A and B are shown apart, each in its own frame.
Chain A
Amino acid sequence: MRRVAIIALVCALGVGALGQVTISFWHAMGGALGTTLTELIQKFHDENPGITVDLIHQGGYSALQQKLIAAVAAGEPPTLAQQYENWTTLWLDALVDLDLFLPEETLGSFLPQFDQLFEGRMVTAPFNKSILVLYYRPDLVPNPPTTWAEFETYVTAIGKDEAKGVYGTAFRPPNPEIFLTLLTQAGGSILSEDWSEVTINNATGLEAAEFAARLAKHALLDSAYTSDAIQKGIAIGMFIDTSAGYTYNMNAAKTAGVPLAVAPLPCYVNCASMIQGTNLAVYAPKQTRAQIEAAAKVIAFLLREDNTAYWAQKTGYLPVTKTGIYGEAWQTYIADKPEQKAMTEQLIAGGFGQLLHPRYMDMRSLLITYWELLLKGEDTPKAVLDALAVEIDAIK
């Protein structure tokens, strides 16, 4: 009897081991973000004892990108990885169509802003997302502006006094996402809808560029994070920055002993604001069906109402699903937090993502160059946009 029991136990363990699926998950989440992700994956393990997720920190986005490029080229990618849209376009063929593996309830829960198709395929799911919002000094700007005109009036009124360290606003030349936000708010775009034509230098593009150039005359132009300038005691009336930088901006303001608050961006034709952050993708090469299904399970788990809200609360990112953003957990959390509420409203009202063009990475490099020229006033906005359009046209 005892022998039979042992054999049964061994068989059960054997079957268990056979049923065990291990997947690799490459990510770039350090510090508190990494700790929270580890917590969530531990919770996933508790709920799914048949799946083991090897959570592998790849040291940062730059290293993760290089490793993914090498791994895809070698045909040895991970099962699951974090990635930006412009990386995704580089290796679409290696990715799994997620709509074949994610449950209906997950697929239906994405905020419309994250329903992204790459060449007609749904290969990514949103993960850590932030949005551009307006940070302002309530002592200098009592009522945050809601329109471009109000924004410009405030910025001009505060002006620029380098000797005193006072600026109406601040721009970071390496961050062209602000220009793309202004461009979209004016109703413009980099390319026409079918990507056949460059539209960045049309009338709407020019309107956005001229607005940015006017603001730049009263702005602090610095490649460093604006929080660095704030902590040095530089007074900046308002600036556009990512919601993910909230903790750092607030800490800087606290260090400098000045008030800082958050509001939705001022609007123009619309209230668009660029979303930043990465998605999750599942890789096909060298993966079994069971591994792909397990990876899809992880995605569905992370996007579940309670988990996406928990992730957002702990990290400063925003929930990426309808159930997450309108769910009780997040709504209760932001009820007494007007700033997080403003970020949430901004995402719902006008969040838009990257252009899903295979050459977007190169276009962004061009945007950085010309955004700096525009901000520094080295040429007229029209000349800058026309030159940029020629270069984009050559690579589109």
Chain B
Amino acid sequence: MQRYRVRADVYLLRRGAGLLVVYALLLVVAVIMAMPLLWMLSTSLKDLVQALRVPTPANWVPNPAFWDNFPTAWNAAPFAIYFWNSFFLAVTTTVGDVITSIPAAYVLAKMKFLGRGFLLGLLLGTLMIPGQMLLVPSFILINRLGWYNTYWALIIPWTAGVFGIFLLRQFFKTIPDELWDSARIDGCHRLRYIFQIAVPLVRPGIATVALFKFVGSWNAFLWVIIMTDKVGLRTVPVGLRFFMMDIGTDYPRLMAAATMAIVPVLILFVFAQRQFIQGIARTGIK
């Protein structure tokens, strides 16, 4: 009995030591990952001279702290409008993308028809075309549709995306076909099966698609610049460019604005992180 207790103690000790090492490593990695964010926060409270100093540990803390960088940055460009637009566009394109991706992904994952593989290949092939190459034809198309300088130009083209379709297809593929067979025997039709049975099973995937889409839309810059001319239609990344000039960058104000810009995305991540991590783990995306 005594022998077993000693063995158990050794096991627990070893396990504890192992966990300690793992947590120490995780802490180091977490600090490294957090460094750019902390540096952004630190720079947002400095003046330009402090911001340009070599980042020694002593230089991490702003001394003195320039809190007025935040109101100055906020007032340098119409950020209230930019924030609203970023939020509105991120939400609408995310909802649209999820709505269009679900049926498309399901069809490509579960329904057998001639040319399915070719269609999927064709869709994936579009991911290899650099976005910049499509800008001029897209601009011409948007103009001919009469969408230039409207929300339509910023929303409609982004309400469907190959990435979302592909990701959800991988999730739908993990659902056993027997589930559909059972549902069919019980008299369930396809649409009801998709939305009542299959979709809840791929919730982590949907959360992942939604988060990627939201962040992508939130960070959209070039498309917004090309397709709009009105301040009232522009987004936060456009506002951030205000602090970057050909002769140099106003780092403190840029970092103050960037700190404000990441707040909504951080909030979203806090709420969706469990689903998001599950989604990433299940698809192997990095």
Q: Which residues of A contact B (CB under 8 A)?
A: 24, 26, 28-35, 54, 56-61, 63, 66-67, 69-71, 73-74, 76, 78, 130, 225, 227, 231-233, 242, 244-245, 247-248, 251-252, 254-255, 316
* B247 and A247 contact, CB distance less than 8 A: yes
Residues in chain A near residue B48, CB distance under 8 A? 251
* A66 and B226 contact, CB distance less than 8 A: yes
Q: Which residues of B contact A (CB under 8 A)?
A: 48-49, 52-54, 76, 132, 135-136, 139-140, 143, 148, 221-222, 225-226, 229, 231, 238, 241-248, 250, 253
* B225 and A59 contact, CB distance less than 8 A: yes
Residues in chain A near residue B136, CB distance under 8 A? 69-70, 73-74
Interface of A is mostly: helix
* B54 and A231 contact, CB distance less than 8 A: yes
Residues in chain A near residue B140, CB distance under 8 A? 70, 73-74
* B246 and A31 contact, CB distance less than 8 A: no
Residues in chain B near residue A28, CB distance under 8 A? 246
Q: Which residue of B lies closest to A252 (CB)?
A: B52
* B241 and A30 contact, CB distance less than 8 A: yes
If A30-B245, A76-B143, A251-B49 touch, does A232 touch B238 (CB 8 Å cutoff)?
no
Q: Which residue of B lies closest to A78 (CB)?
A: B229
CA distance A251 to B47 in the complex (A): 11
Residues in chain B near residue A70, CB distance under 8 A? 135-136, 139-140, 226
Residues in chain B near residue A32, CB distance under 8 A? 245, 250
* B54 and A233 contact, CB distance less than 8 A: yes
If A57-B241, A59-B225, A67-B226 touch, does A255 touch B53 (CB 8 Å cutoff)?
yes
List 8 A-B pairs, minimum CB-CB distance, nearest first: A70-B139, A59-B241, A248-B248, A244-B247, A74-B140, A70-B136, A30-B242, A30-B245
* A244 and B246 contact, CB distance less than 8 A: yes
CA distance A34 to B148 in the complex (A): 24
* A74 and B139 contact, CB distance less than 8 A: yes
Residues in chain A near residue B226, CB distance under 8 A? 63, 66-67, 70
CA distance A227 to B241 in the complex (A): 21
Q: Which residue of B lies closest to A316 (CB)?
A: B247
Partner of B225, one of A29, A31, A67, A227: A67
4 other contacts beyond A63-B225, A78-B229, A255-B52, with CB at 8 A cut-off?
A: A28-B246, A30-B245, A57-B242, A231-B52
B86 → A minimal CB distance (Å): 14
- 29 A-B pairs with CB atoms under 8 Å apart are A30-B243, A31-B76, A31-B242, A31-B244, A32-B250, A57-B241, A59-B238, A60-B241, A60-B244, A63-B222, A63-B225, A63-B226, A66-B132, A67-B225, A70-B135, A70-B136, A70-B226, A73-B139, A74-B140, A225-B248, A227-B52, A231-B53, A231-B54, A244-B247, A248-B247, A251-B48, A254-B49, A255-B53, A316-B247
Residues in chain B near residue A247, CB distance under 8 A? 247-248
Residues in chain A near residue B139, CB distance under 8 A? 70-71, 73-74
CA distance A56 to B132 in the complex (A): 21
